[in-house]
Structure 1
Amino acid sequence: MDAIYTAVATANGREGRAVSSDGQVDLPLAFPAALGGDGRGTNPEQLFAAGYAACFASALGAVGRQEKIDVKDVSVTAEVSIGKEEDGGFGLAVVLRVELPDHLQGEAGDALLKKAHATCPYSKATRGNIAVEVVAE
Protein backbone atom coordinates (compact mmCIF):
# COMPACT_ATOMS: atom_id res chain seq x y z
CA MET A 1 0.00 0.00 0.00
CA ASP A 2 1.19 3.49 -0.83
CA ALA A 3 0.00 5.49 2.20
CA ILE A 4 -1.40 8.95 1.43
CA TYR A 5 -2.30 9.76 5.04
CA THR A 6 -1.38 8.33 8.42
CA ALA A 7 -3.35 9.10 11.58
CA VAL A 8 -1.36 8.94 14.79
CA ALA A 9 -2.92 8.67 18.25
CA THR A 10 -1.66 7.61 21.65
CA ALA A 11 -3.66 6.06 24.48
CA ASN A 12 -2.65 4.76 27.87
CA GLY A 13 -5.38 2.21 28.47
CA ARG A 14 -9.15 2.12 28.81
CA GLU A 15 -9.00 4.52 31.76
CA GLY A 16 -6.87 7.45 30.74
CA ARG A 17 -6.75 9.60 27.60
CA ALA A 18 -6.59 9.21 23.85
CA VAL A 19 -4.77 12.00 22.05
CA SER A 20 -4.03 12.44 18.35
CA SER A 21 -0.69 13.84 17.23
CA ASP A 22 -2.38 16.94 15.78
CA GLY A 23 -4.44 17.59 18.92
CA GLN A 24 -7.79 17.24 17.12
CA VAL A 25 -8.64 14.26 19.33
CA ASP A 26 -8.07 14.61 23.06
CA LEU A 27 -10.57 12.48 24.94
CA PRO A 28 -10.89 10.99 28.40
CA LEU A 29 -11.25 7.21 28.29
CA ALA A 30 -13.28 5.09 30.71
CA PHE A 31 -14.77 1.64 30.92
CA PRO A 32 -18.48 1.75 30.06
CA ALA A 33 -20.87 0.96 32.91
CA ALA A 34 -21.70 -2.37 31.21
CA LEU A 35 -18.06 -3.40 31.71
CA GLY A 36 -17.93 -2.26 35.34
CA GLY A 37 -16.72 1.29 34.78
CA ASP A 38 -18.20 4.65 35.58
CA GLY A 39 -18.75 5.55 31.91
CA ARG A 40 -17.28 9.03 32.38
CA GLY A 41 -15.30 8.95 29.17
CA THR A 42 -15.43 7.45 25.75
CA ASN A 43 -14.22 3.94 25.03
CA PRO A 44 -12.52 2.13 22.14
CA GLU A 45 -15.80 0.64 20.93
CA GLN A 46 -17.37 4.10 20.56
CA LEU A 47 -14.31 5.38 18.71
CA PHE A 48 -14.35 2.36 16.41
CA ALA A 49 -18.11 2.79 15.81
CA ALA A 50 -17.66 6.45 14.87
CA GLY A 51 -14.76 5.68 12.55
CA TYR A 52 -16.50 2.74 10.88
CA ALA A 53 -19.75 4.70 10.37
CA ALA A 54 -17.87 7.62 8.81
CA CYS A 55 -15.73 5.37 6.60
CA PHE A 56 -18.71 3.33 5.39
CA ALA A 57 -20.67 6.51 4.63
CA SER A 58 -17.69 7.76 2.63
CA ALA A 59 -17.51 4.46 0.73
CA LEU A 60 -21.22 4.79 -0.06
CA GLY A 61 -20.54 8.28 -1.40
CA ALA A 62 -17.72 7.03 -3.61
CA VAL A 63 -19.81 4.17 -4.99
CA GLY A 64 -22.75 6.52 -5.49
CA ARG A 65 -20.60 8.92 -7.53
CA GLN A 66 -19.27 6.04 -9.65
CA GLU A 67 -22.77 4.70 -10.24
CA LYS A 68 -24.31 8.19 -10.61
CA ILE A 69 -26.66 7.52 -7.70
CA ASP A 70 -27.68 10.29 -5.31
CA VAL A 71 -26.68 9.20 -1.80
CA LYS A 72 -26.67 12.58 -0.03
CA ASP A 73 -29.53 11.56 2.28
CA VAL A 74 -27.95 8.27 3.38
CA SER A 75 -26.78 7.95 6.98
CA VAL A 76 -24.84 5.16 8.67
CA THR A 77 -25.01 4.06 12.29
CA ALA A 78 -22.42 1.56 13.50
CA GLU A 79 -23.18 -0.61 16.51
CA VAL A 80 -19.98 -2.13 17.88
CA SER A 81 -20.42 -4.84 20.50
CA ILE A 82 -17.76 -6.37 22.71
CA GLY A 83 -18.23 -9.69 24.41
CA LYS A 84 -16.54 -12.77 25.74
CA GLU A 85 -15.52 -15.44 23.29
CA GLU A 86 -15.38 -19.18 23.85
CA ASP A 87 -11.58 -19.11 24.22
CA GLY A 88 -11.91 -16.81 27.23
CA GLY A 89 -10.84 -13.64 25.43
CA PHE A 90 -12.94 -10.81 24.11
CA GLY A 91 -14.19 -10.20 20.60
CA LEU A 92 -16.07 -7.60 18.61
CA ALA A 93 -19.11 -7.67 16.35
CA VAL A 94 -20.52 -4.86 14.20
CA VAL A 95 -23.94 -4.03 12.82
CA LEU A 96 -23.99 -1.24 10.25
CA ARG A 97 -27.47 0.26 10.01
CA VAL A 98 -27.79 2.25 6.82
CA GLU A 99 -30.76 4.55 6.53
CA LEU A 100 -31.66 4.71 2.85
CA PRO A 101 -34.01 7.17 1.18
CA ASP A 102 -37.07 5.80 -0.63
CA HIS A 103 -35.40 5.82 -4.05
CA LEU A 104 -32.75 3.39 -2.76
CA GLN A 105 -35.01 0.86 -1.09
CA GLY A 106 -34.88 -2.72 -2.37
CA GLU A 107 -32.44 -4.14 -4.91
CA ALA A 108 -30.81 -0.82 -5.85
CA GLY A 109 -29.94 -0.09 -2.23
CA ASP A 110 -28.81 -3.64 -1.54
CA ALA A 111 -26.45 -3.51 -4.52
CA LEU A 112 -25.07 -0.17 -3.37
CA LEU A 113 -24.45 -1.50 0.16
CA LYS A 114 -22.74 -4.60 -1.18
CA LYS A 115 -20.36 -2.51 -3.31
CA ALA A 116 -19.64 -0.11 -0.45
CA HIS A 117 -18.94 -3.03 1.90
CA ALA A 118 -16.52 -4.46 -0.67
CA THR A 119 -14.57 -1.19 -0.94
CA CYS A 120 -14.73 0.37 2.56
CA PRO A 121 -11.27 0.16 4.20
CA TYR A 122 -12.82 -0.68 7.60
CA SER A 123 -14.87 -3.47 6.02
CA LYS A 124 -11.75 -4.81 4.34
CA ALA A 125 -9.83 -4.69 7.63
CA THR A 126 -12.51 -6.57 9.55
CA ARG A 127 -13.45 -9.11 6.86
CA GLY A 128 -12.84 -12.61 8.17
CA ASN A 129 -11.88 -11.26 11.60
CA ILE A 130 -15.14 -10.12 13.17
CA ALA A 131 -18.81 -10.49 12.29
CA VAL A 132 -20.12 -7.49 10.35
CA GLU A 133 -23.78 -7.26 9.38
CA VAL A 134 -24.99 -4.55 6.99
CA VAL A 135 -28.68 -3.70 7.42
CA ALA A 136 -30.66 -1.43 5.10
CA GLU A 137 -33.32 0.56 6.89
Structure 2
Amino acid sequence: MSALYTAIVTASGREGRAVSSDGLLDLTLAPPAELGGDGKGTNPEQLFAAGYAACFASALSLVARHRKIDVSHASVTAEVGLAGAAGGRFGLQVTLRVELPDELHGDQGNALVEAAHQVCPYSNATRGNIPVELVVE
Protein backbone atom coordinates (compact mmCIF):
# COMPACT_ATOMS: atom_id res chain seq x y z
CA MET A 1 0.00 0.00 0.00
CA SER A 2 1.40 3.39 -0.98
CA ALA A 3 0.89 6.38 1.33
CA LEU A 4 -1.34 9.14 -0.03
CA TYR A 5 -0.01 11.54 2.61
CA THR A 6 2.52 11.32 5.43
CA ALA A 7 2.29 13.52 8.53
CA ILE A 8 5.60 14.14 10.28
CA VAL A 9 5.60 15.26 13.93
CA THR A 10 8.49 15.24 16.38
CA ALA A 11 7.82 15.04 20.12
CA SER A 12 10.11 14.90 23.13
CA GLY A 13 7.76 13.03 25.49
CA ARG A 14 4.66 13.70 27.56
CA GLU A 15 6.26 16.90 28.87
CA GLY A 16 7.68 19.04 26.13
CA ARG A 17 6.57 19.99 22.65
CA ALA A 18 5.11 18.34 19.57
CA VAL A 19 5.97 20.09 16.31
CA SER A 20 5.01 19.15 12.77
CA SER A 21 7.51 19.34 9.93
CA ASP A 22 5.52 22.16 8.29
CA GLY A 23 5.25 24.11 11.57
CA LEU A 24 1.44 24.21 11.50
CA LEU A 25 1.25 22.05 14.62
CA ASP A 26 3.28 23.31 17.57
CA LEU A 27 1.89 22.22 20.92
CA THR A 28 2.98 22.19 24.52
CA LEU A 29 2.62 18.69 25.95
CA ALA A 30 1.91 17.95 29.59
CA PRO A 31 0.46 15.01 31.49
CA PRO A 32 -3.12 15.59 32.65
CA ALA A 33 -3.75 16.36 36.31
CA GLU A 34 -5.32 12.89 36.66
CA LEU A 35 -1.88 11.42 35.95
CA GLY A 36 0.00 13.76 38.27
CA GLY A 37 0.80 16.46 35.73
CA ASP A 38 -0.04 20.14 35.80
CA GLY A 39 -2.49 19.78 32.89
CA LYS A 40 -1.11 22.93 31.24
CA GLY A 41 -0.66 21.31 27.85
CA THR A 42 -2.32 18.79 25.63
CA ASN A 43 -1.54 15.09 25.90
CA PRO A 44 -1.22 12.16 23.48
CA GLU A 45 -4.69 10.84 24.32
CA GLN A 46 -6.29 14.19 23.39
CA LEU A 47 -4.36 14.26 20.13
CA PHE A 48 -5.40 10.69 19.31
CA ALA A 49 -9.03 11.53 20.19
CA ALA A 50 -8.98 14.59 17.91
CA GLY A 51 -7.54 12.62 15.02
CA TYR A 52 -9.89 9.67 15.47
CA ALA A 53 -13.00 11.88 15.79
CA ALA A 54 -12.11 13.91 12.68
CA CYS A 55 -11.22 10.84 10.63
CA PHE A 56 -14.36 8.94 11.68
CA ALA A 57 -16.55 11.96 10.84
CA SER A 58 -14.98 12.06 7.37
CA ALA A 59 -15.54 8.33 6.90
CA LEU A 60 -19.17 8.78 7.98
CA SER A 61 -19.61 11.57 5.41
CA LEU A 62 -18.07 9.43 2.68
CA VAL A 63 -20.33 6.46 3.40
CA ALA A 64 -23.41 8.70 3.68
CA ARG A 65 -22.60 10.48 0.41
CA HIS A 66 -22.41 7.13 -1.42
CA ARG A 67 -25.81 6.23 0.05
CA LYS A 68 -27.22 9.69 -0.75
CA ILE A 69 -27.90 10.45 2.92
CA ASP A 70 -27.35 13.88 4.47
CA VAL A 71 -25.18 13.77 7.58
CA SER A 72 -24.02 17.39 7.41
CA HIS A 73 -25.26 17.96 10.97
CA ALA A 74 -23.63 14.83 12.42
CA SER A 75 -20.70 15.02 14.83
CA VAL A 76 -18.30 12.53 16.37
CA THR A 77 -16.86 12.70 19.88
CA ALA A 78 -13.98 10.37 20.68
CA GLU A 79 -13.30 9.42 24.28
CA VAL A 80 -9.83 7.91 24.56
CA GLY A 81 -8.92 6.32 27.86
CA LEU A 82 -5.45 5.35 29.02
CA ALA A 83 -5.65 2.13 30.98
CA GLY A 84 -3.14 0.12 32.96
CA ALA A 85 -2.59 -3.48 31.88
CA ALA A 86 -0.84 -6.48 33.41
CA GLY A 87 2.91 -6.37 33.74
CA GLY A 88 3.17 -2.59 33.97
CA ARG A 89 1.98 -2.10 30.40
CA PHE A 90 -0.51 0.50 29.25
CA GLY A 91 -3.28 0.37 26.68
CA LEU A 92 -5.97 2.53 25.17
CA GLN A 93 -9.73 2.18 25.08
CA VAL A 94 -12.03 4.22 22.84
CA THR A 95 -15.69 5.18 22.81
CA LEU A 96 -16.91 6.92 19.66
CA ARG A 97 -20.12 8.88 20.25
CA VAL A 98 -21.76 9.63 16.91
CA GLU A 99 -24.49 12.25 17.06
CA LEU A 100 -26.85 11.81 14.11
CA PRO A 101 -29.96 13.73 13.09
CA ASP A 102 -33.09 12.26 14.70
CA GLU A 103 -34.35 10.84 11.41
CA LEU A 104 -31.26 8.62 11.18
CA HIS A 105 -31.62 6.93 14.55
CA GLY A 106 -32.33 3.21 14.53
CA ASP A 107 -31.21 0.64 11.98
CA GLN A 108 -30.24 3.12 9.26
CA GLY A 109 -28.02 5.15 11.60
CA ASN A 110 -26.45 2.07 13.12
CA ALA A 111 -25.67 0.73 9.64
CA LEU A 112 -24.07 4.04 8.62
CA VAL A 113 -21.88 4.12 11.72
CA GLU A 114 -20.84 0.50 11.29
CA ALA A 115 -20.00 1.11 7.62
CA ALA A 116 -17.92 4.16 8.60
CA HIS A 117 -16.12 1.97 11.15
CA GLN A 118 -15.10 -0.35 8.28
CA VAL A 119 -13.80 2.58 6.16
CA CYS A 120 -12.06 4.76 8.77
CA PRO A 121 -8.24 4.34 8.80
CA TYR A 122 -8.12 4.82 12.59
CA SER A 123 -10.73 2.08 13.05
CA ASN A 124 -8.79 -0.20 10.73
CA ALA A 125 -5.54 0.50 12.60
CA THR A 126 -7.06 -0.17 16.02
CA ARG A 127 -9.30 -3.12 15.13
CA GLY A 128 -8.28 -6.14 17.17
CA ASN A 129 -5.76 -4.08 19.15
CA ILE A 130 -7.89 -1.95 21.47
CA PRO A 131 -11.55 -1.98 22.45
CA VAL A 132 -13.63 0.52 20.44
CA GLU A 133 -17.26 1.06 21.43
CA LEU A 134 -19.61 2.71 18.93
CA VAL A 135 -22.50 4.72 20.42
CA VAL A 136 -25.15 6.35 18.23
CA GLU A 137 -26.76 9.35 19.89
TM-score, normalising length: structure 2: 0.98
Give 2:6's aligned residue: 6
Structure 1 residue 87: deviation in Å?
A: 2.8
Task: Please list every run of 5 or more consecutive structure 2 residues that lacks an aligned counterpart in the other structure.
Answer: none
CA-to-aligned-CA distance 1:75-107 (integer Å, 9 cap, x gap): 000000001112321110000000010111000
Percent identity over paired residues: 69
- For 2:35 and 2:95, locate their aligned partners in 1 and report how far apart those are by CA, in whole Å: 20
Structure 1 residue 4: deviation in Å?
A: 1.3
**Aligned residue identity for 1:128:** G
The alignment yields a C-alpha RMSD, in angstroms, of 0.6
Give 1:70's aligned residue: 70
Give 1:84's aligned residue: 84
Structure 1 residue 3: deviation in Å?
A: 1.2
- For 1:60 and 1:86, locate their aligned partners in 2 and report how far apart those are by CA, in whole Å: 35
Q: Find the residue that maps to 2:54 and give its secondary structure.
A: helix
Instruction: Please show how residues 1-137 of structure 1 align to structure 2 within 5 Å.
Output: 1-137=1-137
Structure 1 residue 124: deviation in Å?
A: 0.1
- For 1:50 and 1:127, locate their aligned partners in 2 and report how far apart those are by CA, in whole Å: 18
CA-to-aligned-CA distance 1:19-41 (integer Å, 9 cap, x gap): 00111100000010011100010
- For 1:13 and 1:124, locate their aligned partners in 2 and report how far apart those are by CA, in whole Å: 26
TM-score, normalising length: structure 1: 0.98
